[in-house]
Amino acid sequence: MTDETPDDTDLAEPGGKVRLFIEDGLAAGDAVTLTEGQAHYLRHVMRAKSGEAVRLFNGRDGEWRAALALAGKRGAAAVPERQTRDQTVASDLWLCFAPVKKAPAEFIAQKATELGVSALRPIITRRTIVSRVNVERMRANAIEAAEQSDRLDVPDCHDPASLPWLLTAWPSHRALLFCDEAGAPPILDALKAAPMGPWGILIGPEGGFDAEERAAIRALPQCVPATLGSRILRADTAGLAALAIWQAALGS
């Protein structure tokens, strides 16, 4: 125990520096089994010991302080003691992005999770070169980013969908921020004039959308076209910039 000499690596203050996302429900006294990866991380990276405090969250039950219980050579569990934060509702904001070569989906997942997206939706467009998206790895990165950024939930990580499919199934009450390259109003003006409620941000691939795709997106009644300014941004930069600006204008 390190209670007497708390420092930056102290697991026990103020409720454990280590935060772990778990799938199980959280209730006082109900031990949860940690995954092999979490157990390995606690033992060998954080050098944690039984009895030390960690923080747990599952996206539903808020955040809990829990006592670590290492068992055997590999096993680990944690026993929730008390709730340290109530569950809050995050922004309902999807990021729909065409995966690009130069910025792995994992990178986008990490940054977008920090910036508060509720769902990550890879989109396959005509000019999309990347054909495979490792959704599992994307989710692992989103979980890690959620653990480190004090989020109380993990964004939904979807399988890739084609653009027509995304547009066909777009919910009628969800605004679609379309970061178009040309002829659209500045993003802050577009957001100011737009309705409250759930949103999605749509970012194209390196070569942009083709003319027919752009027409189909703009034809959607929920579409809010906007420009990010006169600069030419890489696809991944554009996505993160749009998220940051959306949060500053409409987020919490």
Residue 107 structure tokens: 């990178």
Q: Could you tell me how many residues of this chain bind its own copies (CB under 8 A)? A: 31
Q: How many CB atoms lie within 10 A of CB 197?
A: 12
- Closer to its own copies by Cβ: residue 70 or 115: 115
Task: Decide if residue 106 touches its own copies (CB under 8 A).
Answer: no
Alpha-helix residue ranges (DSSP H) falling in 16-122 = 36-40, 105-114
Residue 151 in contact with its own copies, rule: CB under 8 A: yes
179/249 Cα distance (integer angstroms): 15
Contact call for residue 193 and its own copies (CB under 8 A): no
Least distance between its own copies and beta carbon 237 (Å):
5
Distance CA 215, CA 212 (A): 5
String of contacts with its own copies for each residue 194-213, x by CB under 8 A = -------------x------
- Radius of gyration of the chain from its Cα atoms, rounded to whole angstroms: 21
Cα gap 238→236, rounded to integer Å: 5
Q: How far apart are CA 77 and CA 63, in angstroms?
A: 16
Q: Does 231 bind its own copies (CB under 8 A)?
A: yes
Per CB under 8 A, the list member of 65, 111, 121, 158 interacting with its own copies is: 111
DSSP bridge pairs for 94: 119, 200
Give backbone dihedrals phi and psi of 2, rounded to 5 degrees, phi first. -120, 25
- Which residues contact residue 43 at a Cβ distance below 8 angstroms, ignoring those fewer than 6 apart? 70, 76
Interface pick for its own copies out of 134, 149, 162, 168 (rule CB under 8 A): 149
Residue 32 or 245: the one with the smaller Cβ distance to its own copies is: 245
**Is there binding between residue 186 and its own copies (CB under 8 A)?**
yes
C-alpha dist (Å) from residue 113 to 15, 80, 89, 116, 119? 23, 25, 14, 5, 9
Please identify, among the stretches 38-46, 64-72, 183-191, 197-205, the one whose residues bind its own copies according to the rule CB under 8 A. 183-191
Q: Which stretch binds its own copies (CB under 8 A): 55-63, 73-81, 107-115, 158-166?
A: 107-115
Q: From the CB of 207, what's the least distance to its own copies, in Å?
A: 7
Closest CA to 119 of 92, 149, 145: 92
Q: Does 241 bind its own copies (CB under 8 A)?
A: yes
Q: Which of 1, 193, 215, 248 is close enough to bind its own copies by CB under 8 A?
A: 248
User: Cα(224)–Cα(77) distance, rounded to whole angstroms?
Assistant: 47
Among 66, 143, 223, 245, binds its own copies (CB under 8 A): 245
- Per CB under 8 A, which region of 64-72, 74-82, 195-203, 222-230 contacts its own copies? 222-230
For residue 147, what are its two tokens? 């653990």
Question: What is the contact surface with its own copies in residues (CB under 8 A)?
Answer: 8, 111, 114-116, 148-151, 186-188, 207, 228-234, 237, 240-242, 244-245, 247-249, 251-252
